[in-house]
Amino acid sequence: LSPLPVTQIVWSIEPLPAADEADEMIQVILVIASRLEVERFLGKLESSGYLTDRLEIPELHQLLAAPKPGDGVWFLPRLGAELPSVLIAWWYGGTLRNLSVANLGDEESRVTDLRDQLSQVAWAGEMEGWLSDDPHFHLLGDTAAAEIWKPVLDQATNDAVTVDEL
């Protein structure tokens, strides 16, 4: 089942580690992208001899490898990209509840755009019942990423963001 026409997309899944070994169901992250955009990008890669077999979000592997001591929101910025973006993961009750990529525009609108996206997920979490407390925010990154992103995230969350080095 796909929310989009199957002929217009490519997809891949990333299984998550089981929170409970007795649970027979596994949680997966579904990555969906426009077939046209993927084929356009792959054409450039394949001309240099690179072959691919799946869609990947590199920051996702870093996120899954990072220790998560409790409930909260983890930010993992994409460094070196043309447009700034940040992977945002909401972990509650040992389960990944929401995962999104915030593509941010110019410096003037970054805080507002990020604040709006966080508010929407928080409202949805409250309605679904998994968000019952104020979230604690974490920035996953090195010192250079922390210098750039911590002030933006502090302002967008109206809270002090903890920096967790990768």
What does the chain look like in DSSP terms, one character per residue? --SS-GGGEEEEEEEPPPSSTT-----EEEEEEEHHHHHHHHHHHHTTT----S---HHHHHHHHS---SSEEEEEEEPS-SS-EEEEEEEETTEEEEEEEEE--SHHHHHHHHHHHHHHHHHHHHHHT---SPPPEEEES-HHHHHHHHHHHHHHHTSPPEEE--
pLDDT recorded at residue 44: 83
pTM of the model: 0.82
- Going residue by residue through the chain, which has 166 residues, state the pLDDT in tens, using 9 for 90 and above: 677 899 999 888 888 877 666 677 888 888 888 899 888 888 888 888 887 777 777 788 888 888 776 889 999 998 666 778 899 999 988 888 999 988 887 888 889 999 999 999 999 999 999 998 889 999 998 888 889 899 999 999 999 999 988 7
